[in-house]
Amino acid sequence: NMENDIFSDKIFQIKGVSLIELELPFNKKIYYKVHELFPNKDNIILGTSILKEDDYYFIFGYVNEYQNKKLILARTRDLLSQEIEYLHFDGSWKKDRSNLMILKERFSSEFKAMKIGNEYYIAYTKDSVGKDIYLIKSDNITSPFDKEILVYSCPEHNSSIITYNSKIMLSLSNEKEMVISYNVNTLVNEEHVNLDIYRPRFIKIKMEDVRNEFSKIY
């Protein structure tokens, strides 16, 4: 949920994250409910990515500090219950929102976490906007993502064209290969006549190559 007040400093501000519940199968009409789950509170934004493991939904988000989005983790047994626990710096789970464990600094406002085997992966663009796409890995969902490799440099990125918000496409990825998308836009308003600038791009990488690259750094 975005707030875009062009007459204030609240331009493209995230108000919160909602869950859309759809009825399946789809027929002639789609019925859905919208659940207002995670409002932006104390500059903490949750729900960017969710993984279900055993009895818990693990909810990724970030602390939205000035020019530094810090990756954090929360969990709940029921997404609609609002009974949320946060991962603290000492590894404990508490409802308190202070002293949180920071899983990664200078992160992105959009990303998706994916579990492959016993490893957790996230592709991201540092500080949300930039030329380079990084892939980070952790062997434990409650540990910092301190293993990082550069997987791609976006050729479109230049002085006027920006690339941003890279993320793993979960439905297109598997244990053998990973598909990562990234967005493209322009800072020059007159260039918006070329719609190809705005189309998302996709890259595909082999997980065998990913593991080989990670093995070189530790």
Q: How far is C-alpha 170 from the chain's CA centre? A: 12
Calculate the CA 13 to chain-centre distance: 16
Higher pLDDT, 197 or 212: 212
Task: For 154-199, write each residue's pLDDT tens digit.
Answer: 999 998 999 999 999 999 999 999 999 999 999 998 888 888 888 9
- pLDDT tens for 112-143 read 999 999 999 999 999 999 999 999 999 999 99
Determine the distance from the C-alpha atom of residue 78 to the mean position of all C-alpha atoms in its chain, rounded to a whole number: 21
Task: Give yes or no for a contact between 131 and 153, defined as CB atoms under 8 angstroms apart.
Answer: yes
**CA–CA dist 76, 87 (Å, integer):** 11
